[in-house]
Amino acid sequence: MLFKYKDFISTINLSKEEIFEILDTAKHMKEINKREVKKVPTLKGKTISTAFFEPSTRTRTSFEIAAKRLSADTVSFTSTTSSTTKGETLLDTIKNIENMHTDIFVIRHKCSGAVKFVADNVKAHIVNAGDGTNEHPTQAMLDLFTIREHKNTLTGLNVAIIGDIDHSRVARSNIWAMQKLGINVILYGPKTMLPSDTTPLKCHIAKNFKEAVTEADVVMMLRIQLERQNKILIPSLREYAMYFGLNKTSAKYLKKDAIIMHPGPINRGVELSTEYADCDRSVILNQVENGIAVRMAILYLLGMQKRRTDGSST
Amino acid sequence: MDLLLKNCTIINYNGQSNGHIVINKGLIEDILQNNDNIDNIYASKIIDCSKFIVMPALIDMHVHFRDPGFEYKEDIISGSYAAVAGGYTTCLCMGNTNPAADNTTTIRYMIDKAEKIGLIDLLPYGCVTINRAGEHIVEMGDMLNAGAIAFSDDGSPIMNSEVMRRALEYASTFNTFIATHSEDSNLSANGQINEGIVSTITGLKGIPAAAEESIIARDVLLADLATAHVHICHVSTHNAVELIKWAKSKRINVTAEVTPHHLIFSEDNLLTYDSNFKVNPPLRTQRDIKALFDAIKDGTVDVISTDHAPHNIDEKHIEFENAAFGMIGLQSTIPVLLQFVEEGKINLKDIVKLTSYNPSKILNLQKGKIEKNYRADLVIVDKEMTYIYDENIIKSKNYNTPLFRKTLKGIPVYTIKEGKIVYSLK
């Protein structure tokens, strides 16, 4: 195994080989998910805790199913049911549960860098399930897995990422990983939703929707965060849908074989109109399916690592 | 004689000389040449300074002593000890206390407490507006009478330009100035670090340079309109430097300060999400740092102040976005500035000019020079000593600085206020 990190926090430091190891491991995991008995004893006796300090259904469920299919015991808590509402610090909360002998934590937090902060201060393995506007690395891995499934390759592809890039942890994790793999990423969105300095992203910024998608093998539509106060960033959802959404008018610029992706949950009629969310080219539900396999792979690579460093297998 | 400093290398803002400093009744009574006979001078204490340099004691125009209200971070006692250990004998403390320093009682409390310890001259800023809310200006005349040195709503910029204009006018009536933390709080809302490459990489919300620059532009124009003196705190961007340079060229009464941390650290330090680097204004880019050094050299920046901002570990060792802004600085100014001297970026005279001579001029103090009849506020510095900057050295109640436990070079060995030794290293 190449994967040697205590934690899975970010895609920014992953090498091409490490990314492929995760994707290849996930491929094996996907086979397990298709069996009659969808369970292997790999992580039997391990305790995995999902700690979500921000609302989530899909990601938390996905991690829990992934952990259970590897036979780990899972505990989950969200900020509304945990003692963080009683004024306990994030680190205290995690350290308490760590001392109940939790092996792996899956953490989502609204603050960028918060998951790294926890990882730097506890011994348990930490998986980042989304930290603020920074990263969502398992989402990037499942996106890459899904792209590879449909395109049979990753190198040389053109990927368009469209929407609120600046506030998107999905975009950041994907961009860092895609950079490593030689994927050409093109970004598009209203300027209010792009970082003011895009140089570190090393992506081309399209001038309009047409330019963004014309060459794209993959069109990834980002979710507009309705819960966020976006009133200053865009005048209305109506106008956003007209100029930045994928709909009948804009879809005519897509290549015939382009696949449509979305990290979910979809705002139908805003970034993605229903006919394209549900069309043949949409791989959105494949992404969800592959999320389980990819998260099994990550949990496996972390969970098996301890045994390795203990010396029982090298 | 109270004190005789033998064999001194004397650093002044305008030159370097050698000699013996004779101190009596709190003043520099005489400076004798090296070949003058000092054998028959009687002094109650004699210090041989042949291994050290002697500078005017430092004046810090920007500290937070957190007293009253946040004594768990720092208080006037611990702050005074940190100041003298850093070579300072004069500190201007900001009024973001609880209660805020918007009244004579709080100002008197601060000064009395500092006088009781007797280590430094504490010259408090009064708030510009009641409760630092940016609405109603305080009773400046009465507060000056109580001992306030000038006025500032530090940390809570006055967004209402009419209030700022009238505050500048009213302050200038009493021949004092307003020190501004220039920041458009709408532009910077929820911001964590400099907006730029590092905010793009880390996903931390950026604070654009324009948030600082736009208000500096406004404030110098208002100072012009009000024919008043505005002091721009902690300048951090290259455009801010240009704006101040422009204002000075128009003879607008503006002075400006820069902090050591904005000179030594950059946004690159934030890639690790280390909250000890979280300050406001945020650490900027290498280009900005270069502009700040140029501004020191060409006189656009008048003063180096620390913005000494102690915070408890519970306010720092948490998620970056929830961590408090600020770092301590009183005891690291000298080693940091001496490092710049070694690197050839500034010289020893610049240190004296920016940390003592210019502040003294701005504040009309009889300090800032080692010259006959000046106040004997001096610091004797060992330039060569290296040491670990740890809890044994730091006198502040908290250690929130990225320099904590790092090796530093250069340290005050004696700090002298009005001829009395208020600090000695050993």
Structural domain of B143? 57-363
Bridge-based pairing of strands A104-109 and A184-188 is: unpaired
Residue in the structure block whose two tokens are 């721009």: B232
DSSP 8-state code for residue B137? B
Q: How far is B185 from chain A (nearest CA, A)?
A: 15
Nearest C-alpha neighbor of A54 from the set B370, B172, B132, B319: B319
Token pair listed for A102: 């939790």
**Residue to test with chain B: of A93, A111, A126, A191, most B Cβ within 10 A:** A111
**Consecutive H or E run containing B178:** strand B178-180
What pLDDT shows up at residue A231?
67
Q: Considering the domain boundaries, does residue A86 fall inside one? A: yes
Sign of the C-alpha dihedral computed for residues B84, B88, B89 and B90 taken in this order: negative
CATH number of the CATH domain containing B156: 3.20.20.140
What pLDDT shows up at residue A84?
58
For A207-254, the pLDDT digits (tens) are 999 999 999 999 999 999 876 655 689 999 999 999 999 999 999 999
**A151 and A248 belong to one structural domain:** yes
What pLDDT shows up at residue A71?
98
Q: Confirm if A148 and A285 have CB atoms less than 8 A apart.
A: no
What pLDDT shows up at residue A308?
45
B144 forms beta bridges with none
Please state, as a whole number, how many other Cβ atoms lie within 10 Å of the Cβ of residue B343: 8
**A131 and A149 belong to one structural domain:** no
The pLDDT-based confidence of A144 (bands split at 50, 70, 90) is very high
Q: Considering the domain boundaries, does residue B423 fall inside one? A: no
What pLDDT shows up at residue B39?
82
What pLDDT shows up at residue A133?
95
**A129 and A148 belong to one structural domain:** no
Q: Considering the domain boundaries, does residue A11 fall inside one? A: no
Residues 6+ apart with CB under 8 A from B86: B58, B330, B331, B332, B333, B334, B412
Q: Confirm if B96 and B64 have CB atoms less than 8 A apart.
A: yes
3-state secondary structure of B280: coil
What pLDDT shows up at residue A312?
37
Distances (CA, A) of B34 to B17, B18, B19, B38, B40: 10, 7, 5, 9, 14
Q: Considering the domain boundaries, does residue A4 fall inside one? A: no
How many structural domains comprise chain A?
Answer: 2
Please state, in angstroms and rounded to a whole number, the distance separating the CA atoms of residues B111 and B116. 9
Please state, in angstroms and rounded to a whole number, the distance separating the CA atoms of residues B349 and B375. 19
Consecutive sets of 10 residues in chain B, 426 residues long: mean pLDDT of each? 93 97 96 86 92 98 98 98 98 98 98 98 98 97 98 95 98 98 96 98 98 98 98 98 98 98 98 98 98 98 98 96 97 98 98 98 97 97 98 98 98 98 95
**A275 and A167 belong to one structural domain:** yes
**A100 and A84 belong to one structural domain:** yes
Active-site hit among A16, A27, A58, A151: A58
Residues 6+ apart with CB under 8 A from B339: B264, B409, B410
Q: Confirm if B378 and B4 have CB atoms less than 8 A apart.
A: no
Please state, in angstroms and rounded to a whole number, the distance separating the CA atoms of residues B409 and B391. 16
For A:241-300, CB contacts with B below 8 A are none
What pLDDT shows up at residue A80?
65
Phi, psi of B45 (to 5 degrees): -145, 140
Nearest C-alpha neighbor of A268 from the set A243, A241, A234: A241
**A144 and A268 belong to one structural domain:** yes
**Residue to test with chain B: of A135, A197, A199, A205, most B Cβ within 10 A:** A197
Phi, psi of B46 (to 5 degrees): -125, 130
3-state secondary structure of A218: strand
Phi, psi of B175 (to 5 degrees): 65, 35
Distances (CA, A) of B375 to A238, B23, B236, B305: 70, 9, 32, 21
Q: What is the DSSP string of A82-109?
A: SGGGGT--HHHHHHHHHTTT--EEEEEE
Q: Considering the domain boundaries, does residue B159 fall inside one? A: yes
**Residue to test with chain A: of B207, B319, B320, B322, most A Cβ within 10 A:** B319
For A15-25, the pLDDT digits (tens) are 999 999 999 99
**A250 and A213 belong to one structural domain:** yes
Q: How far is B96 from chain A (nearest CA, A)?
A: 25
Is the model more confident about A146 or about A307?
A146
Residue in the structure block whose two tokens are 């989530």: A56
Residue A306 confidence (pLDDT) above 80: no
Structural domain of A176? 137-283
**A54 and A191 belong to one structural domain:** no
CATH number of the CATH domain containing A91: 3.40.50.1370
What amino acid is encoded at A164 in this protein? Answer: D
Whether A308 is catalytic? no
Q: Considering the domain boundaries, does residue B97 fall inside one? A: yes
Is the model more confident about A84 or about A42?
A42
Q: Considering the domain boundaries, does residue B24 fall inside one? A: no
List, in sequence order, every beta strand (DSSP E) within chain A.
47-52, 73-78, 104-109, 125-131, 158-162, 184-188, 204-205, 218-221, 259-261
Q: Chain A partners of B314 at a C-beta cutoff of 8 Å? A: 89
Q: Considering the domain boundaries, does residue A167 fall inside one? A: yes
Q: Considering the domain boundaries, does residue A311 fall inside one? A: no
For A252-296, the pLDDT digits (tens) are 999 999 999 999 999 999 999 999 999 999 999 999 999 999 999
Q: Considering the domain boundaries, does residue B82 fall inside one? A: yes
Residues 6+ apart with CB under 8 A from B221: none
Whether A307 is catalytic? no
Active-site hit among B307, B350, B377, B382: B307
**A221 and A141 belong to one structural domain:** yes
- Lowest mean pLDDT across A53-57, A100-104, B26-30: A53-57
**A79 and A214 belong to one structural domain:** no
Sign of the C-alpha dihedral computed for residues B132, A231, B218 and B231 taken in this order: positive
Q: Considering the domain boundaries, does residue A106 fall inside one? A: yes
How many structural domains comprise chain B?
Answer: 1
Q: Confirm if B93 and B118 have CB atoms less than 8 A apart.
A: no
pTM: 0.94
Q: Considering the domain boundaries, does residue A196 fall inside one? A: yes
Q: Considering the domain boundaries, does residue B44 fall inside one? A: no
CB contact (8 A) between residue B320 and residue A195: no
Q: Considering the domain boundaries, does residue B39 fall inside one? A: no
**A124 and A157 belong to one structural domain:** no
A113 dihedral zone (left: phi>0; alpha: psi -120 to 50; beta): left
What pLDDT shows up at residue A227?
64
Please state, in angstroms and rounded to a whole number, the distance separating the CA atoms of residues B296 and B46. 36
- Per-residue b/e over B320-341, b at no fewer than 16 CB within 10 Å? bbebbbbbbbbbbbbbbbbbbb
Radius of gyration of chain B (CA): 21
**A157 and A123 belong to one structural domain:** no
Q: Considering the domain boundaries, does residue B413 fall inside one? A: no
Q: Considering the domain boundaries, does residue A2 fall inside one? A: no
Please state, as a whole number, how many other Cβ atoms lie within 10 Å of the Cβ of residue B386: 11
What pLDDT shows up at residue A44?
96
Active-site hit among A34, A86, A191, A207: A86
